[in-house]
Structure 1
Amino acid sequence: MKVAIVMGSESDFPVVERGIRILREFGVDTEIRVISAHRTPDKAVEFGKSAEEEGIEVIIAAAGKAAHLGGVLAAVSIVPVIGLPIKSSTLDGLDSLLSIVQMPKGIPVATVAIDGAENAALLAIQILSVKYESLREKLKEYRKKMAKEVEEKDKEINKRL
């Protein structure tokens, strides 16, 4: 099982790194790349076209500003693409979000929140869990752990009162 995380710029890495940690925690192989839809468009198309034969099962495309990377990859690949909008200095990432979420009919890109690297990773894991039962079980345990943490915080807050 393999997820590619493609960033439009190296400056996206601090956000993307949070998702990489989750994927690795779940034992998912990751391929990390920097490919720009605008500065290296041929490389983006080449990567998208070869993703399936390279064993990539989900692509997370992280980009800011005019965030067309996910759309370019989805246009040339049958591999599911998750768009991760990155907050930039302009428009607080709304430009990125709208660039990713407004795809034309027939070329879907799933989209998570601005800077939502953790949810991008978890969505990739959910997609993979349809095929890999071991991931499905790890995901169930992860959710139980999250629920337990909330319950513990609930008890802690009530002890303060």
Structure 2
Amino acid sequence: PVMKDCLKTLDKFAISYEVKVLSAHRMPEATASYARDLRQRGIKVVIAGAGGAAHLPGVIAAHTILPVIGIPLASSSLQGIDALYSIVQMPGGVPVASMGIGGAGAKNAAILAAEILSLSSSDLEEKLKQYKAHLAQSRADSV
């Protein structure tokens, strides 16, 4: 359900995406192969959600030069703190942009991806400007 917040936000910006279920621990070869082929398939940004040990975003980042955004998911008794630490504490040279835990993090991952993609898309840049203006207006209206 948390990743649906990400997909809804990508849809709002009309950003196409693919969804793939992978596991850094249970499917290591498939994960590495998938990550290595991303660029050749035209993917420009990766968003990976993971809970517990949460190594998926880091493993993907180790196998691609594309930007990787990690979303920590609350899937254990630690309520996502373990996943957050796993995603944010990457070794130098293997960056992963880490979002907050849960739904807000999933939404922010989509917005960050849109911001990255807007560097080469004036249409997306305009949508983001409108989105930010709407956020500011809705906040002002609630005061």
TM-score, normalised to structure 1, is 0.86
How far apart in 2 are the matches of 1:54 and 1:90? 37
Match in the other structure for 1:3: none
Indicate the structure with greater strand content. 1
State the AA in 2 paired with 1:125. A
Per-residue deviation, 1:72: 0.4
Q: Indicate whether 1:62 and 2:49 are aligned.
A: yes
Q: Indicate whether 1:86 and 2:73 are aligned.
A: yes
Alignment deviations for residues 58-117 of structure 1 (CA, whole Å, 9 cap, x no partner): 000100000000000000101100010001232111100000011111010000001110
Match in the other structure for 1:152: 141
Q: Is the 8 A contact 2:51 2:76 kept in 1?
A: no
Q: Is the 8 A contact 1:65 1:90 kept in 2?
A: no
How far apart in 2 are the matches of 1:84 and 1:56? 18
Residues paired across the two proteins, number = 141
* Equivalent residues in 2 for 1:109-120, closer than 5 Å: 109-115=96-102, 116-120=105-109
Alignment deviations for residues 111-152 of structure 1 (CA, whole Å, 9 cap, x no partner): 000111000000000111111111111000001011111111
How far apart in 2 are the matches of 1:87 and 1:34? 17
How far apart in 1 are the matches of 2:64 and 2:130? 32
Q: Is the 8 A contact 1:35 1:44 kept in 2?
A: yes
State the AA in 1 paired with 2:73. I
How far apart in 2 are the matches of 1:30 and 1:21? 11
Q: Indicate whether 1:131 and 2:129 are aligned.
A: no
Deviating above 6 A after TM superposition, structure 1's stretches of 4 or more consecutive aligned residues are: none
Gaps of 5+ in 1: 1-13, 155-161
Q: Is the 8 A contact 2:9 2:110 kept in 1?
A: yes
How far apart in 2 are the matches of 1:141 and 1:106? 35
How far apart in 2 are the matches of 1:72 and 1:89? 20
Q: Indicate whether 1:38 and 2:25 are aligned.
A: yes
How far apart in 2 are the matches of 1:96 and 1:26? 27
Match in the other structure for 1:15: 2
Match in the other structure for 1:8: none
Q: 2:129 pairs with 140, 150, 155, which one?
A: 140
| C-alpha RMSD over aligned residues | 0.6
